[in-house]
């Protein structure tokens, strides 16, 4: 499951104060405290830590094979999507833990889910099963850190429900003042969309509004819950975690704003309480059925049985991530095969440059080699395995120069350059230092605008002197028909242009991306998901 988000809490701070001083576990066969376990494991020989695999359901779960440095917060985060976590006992010396949920039903849901999807902590698989113990009793004075973390979670979880005579500890964290979180994505090597954020954060309560933007070259978002305690719970569980393997780290703070003013429902902003809002200029409108679903969704709580906090819980969200340019395929990680084999090319027309331009829409092409003895085939080396997977998914079966191309992963690990002094007729080209790479800059806006090939093209970097007629003529000269054109209302540097077919749009992109329009302006062309 490397390619799908299964990490739970990478990047949480470590410290020597995380070690538990001691705790007491009550045995299911006795009402008395049966033994003391210390954090360094010296006394844990007294404790029968290994539970039977086929044990009866219990609200206490036994977690094994934990990484040595894992924290209480990370273990608690495993259980949060399934219900209230009521206690935790860490056995550091044994790399094990016990997690108590409020109900047996929640525990059953959690075990059933993780039996199908192996959970990972810090890139290591861990194992979860029912414990023989039916209840955890821990000494709060000896187990202070774990209890402090639990208190913070409990304060959030109980704030929205009647207490029915149960007093919340005075040391429980006070709910934050603002229901709005400011989210910064560090190390954003792959795109994070508004829909992905919604799927992650909706686990902790109804998300009302989201606004995304780029500031100081970083992708950021403001996200508003219906209640400040939901914001606090989300911050507690998600701050410092990675959305995808080893990248896209969430940095979360409370915003000074207490309410967001959303004008448009589109890719960049959304008000889930107002599905009737317009989409804004040049942005795709929200489908009415989807809008209705969003409106309904805000009244629902997170569904038990969803994925771990940072995983994407359904096909719709996975599709959103895929559409944004990160198709997570099982077994393909950032370190996967970077080389593609492209076949059934039009050998009379294809060049390394044309392949660089087309495949460069989905990643930074490093090298291209058209095969000397089979000129209808080429090897293309991308910057990493995710980019090659993305290009393959989007371009396999598309038409290029009149022929349907086939794109597969190659068995080659790299594309070899010709030996010094050997003339290979320009069939191999090294693009490693190309200034035209779209994704060199972490957090680039280009990560937000990766879409499948479409008849509608997004044009940018248009100089003021170039008119609609100039661009219509330019694109008609690529051999296709321009069906529609529209400048962006607020920014005439950008426009949407629609060709008659996807094949014509592909041809136009190959011919005109980086075309010199004069005044030091080189046209930028990409596929759009909008229509005119």
CA gap 22, 40 in Å, rounded: 9
Confidence at residue 510, expressed as pLDDT on a 0 to 100 scale: 97
CA gap 258, 25 in Å, rounded: 43
Taking CA atoms, 336 is separated from 329, 339, 387, 405, in Å, by 11, 9, 10, 22
CA gap 297, 317 in Å, rounded: 14
- Domains along the chain? 60-153 (3.30.70.330), 180-271 (3.30.70.330), 339-443 (3.30.70.330), 451-527 (3.30.70.330)
**Cα three-residue angle 273-274-275, rounded to 5 degrees:** 110
Cβ contacts of 293 within 8 Å, gap of 6 or more: none
**Cβ–Cβ under 8 Å, residues 482 and 476:** yes
CA gap 96, 128 in Å, rounded: 10
Neighbouring C-beta atoms of residue 391, cutoff 10 Å:
23
Residue 428: helix, strand or coil by DSSP? Answer: strand
In tens digits, the chain (532 residues) has pLDDT values of 333 333 333 222 323 222 232 333 333 332 222 333 333 333 333 344 444 445 789 999 999 999 988 888 778 878 877 778 889 998 888 999 999 998 998 898 888 878 877 888 877 899 999 999 899 887 665 567 777 777 766 655 554 443 333 333 322 333 346 889 999 998 777 778 898 899 899 888 889 999 998 887 788 999 999 888 889 889 988 988 888 766 788 999 999 888 888 889 998 999 988 888 888 754 444 444 444 444 443 332 232 222 333 443 333 334 344 434 333 333 333 346 899 999 999 999 999 999 999 999 999 999 999 999 999 999 999 998 888 888 998 899 999 999 999 999 998 999 999 887 777 788 999 999 999 999 888 767 777 778 889 999 999 999 999 999 999 999 999 999 999 999 998 888 999 999 999 999 999 999 999 999 988 899 999 999 888 8
**Cβ–Cβ under 8 Å, residues 390 and 415:** no
Confidence at residue 311, expressed as pLDDT on a 0 to 100 scale: 44
CA gap 133, 26 in Å, rounded: 7
Question: Against a cut of 0.75, is the pTM above it?
Answer: no
């Amino acid at each position: 499951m490397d390619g799908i988000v299964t990490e739970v809490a990478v990047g949480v701070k470590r410290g020597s104060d995380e070690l538990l001083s001691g705790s007491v576990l009550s045995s299911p066969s006795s009402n008395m405290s049966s033994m003391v376990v210390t954090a360094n494991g010296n006394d844990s020989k007294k404790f029968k830590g290994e539970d039977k695999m086929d044990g009866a359901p219990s609200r206490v779960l036994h977690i094994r094979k934990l990484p040595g440095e894992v924290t209480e917060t990370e273990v608690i985060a495993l259980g949060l999507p399934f219900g209230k976590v009521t206690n935790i006992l860490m056995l550091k010396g044994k790399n094990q833990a016990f997690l108590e949920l409020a109900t047996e039903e929640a525990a059953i849901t959690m075990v059933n889910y993780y039996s199908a999807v192996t959970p990972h902590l810090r890139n290591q698989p861990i194992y979860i099963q029912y414990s023989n113990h039916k209840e955890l009793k821990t000494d709060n004075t000896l187990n202070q850190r774990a209890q402090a973390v639990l208190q913070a979670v409990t304060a959030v979880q109980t704030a929205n429900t009647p207490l029915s005579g149960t007093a919340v500890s005075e040391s429980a964290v006070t709910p934050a003042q603002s229901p709005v979180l400011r989210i910064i994505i560090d190390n954003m090597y792959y795109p994070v969309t508004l829909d992905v954020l919604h799927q992650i954060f909706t686990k902790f309560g109804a998300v009302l509004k989201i606004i995304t933007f780029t500031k100081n070259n970083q992708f950021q978002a403001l996200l508003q819950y219906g209640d400040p305690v939901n914001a606090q719970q989300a911050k507690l569980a998600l701050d410092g975690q990675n959305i995808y393997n080893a990248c896209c780290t969430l940095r979360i703070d409370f915003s000074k704003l207490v309410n967001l003013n959303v004008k448009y429902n589109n890719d960049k902003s959304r008000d889930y309480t107002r599905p009737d809002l317009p989409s804004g200029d040049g942005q795709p409108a929200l489908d009415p059925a989807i809008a209705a679903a969003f409106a309904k969704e805000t009244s629902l709580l997170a569904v038990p049985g969803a994925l771990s906090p940072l995983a994407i819980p359904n096909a719709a969200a996975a599709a959103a991530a895929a559409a944004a340019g990160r198709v997570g395929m099982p077994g393909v990680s950032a370190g996967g095969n970077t080389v593609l084999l492209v076949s059934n090319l039009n050998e009379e027309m294809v060049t390394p440059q044309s392949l660089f331009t087309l495949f460069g829409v989905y990643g930074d092409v490093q090298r291209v080699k058209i095969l000397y003895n089979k000129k209808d085939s080429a090897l293309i080396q991308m910057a990493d395995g995710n980019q090659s997977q993305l290009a393959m998914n989007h371009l396999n079966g598309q038409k290029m120069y009149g022929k349907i191309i086939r794109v597969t992963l190659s068995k080659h690990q790299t594309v070899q350059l010709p030996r010094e002094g050997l003339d290979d007729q320009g069939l191999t080209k090294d693009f490693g230092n190309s200034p035209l790479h779209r994704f060199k800059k972490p957090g680039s806006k280009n990560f937000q605008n990766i879409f499948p090939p479409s008849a509608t093209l997004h044009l940018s970097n248009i100089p003021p002197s170039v008119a609609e007629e100039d661009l219509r003529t330019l694109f008609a000269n690529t051999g296709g028909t321009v069906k529609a054109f529209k400048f962006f209302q607020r920014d005439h540097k950008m426009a949407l242009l629609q060709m008659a077919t996807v094949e014509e749009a592909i041809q136009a992109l190959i011919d005109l991306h980086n075309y010199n329009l004069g005044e030091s302006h080189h046209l930028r062309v990409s596929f759009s998901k909008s229509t005119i």
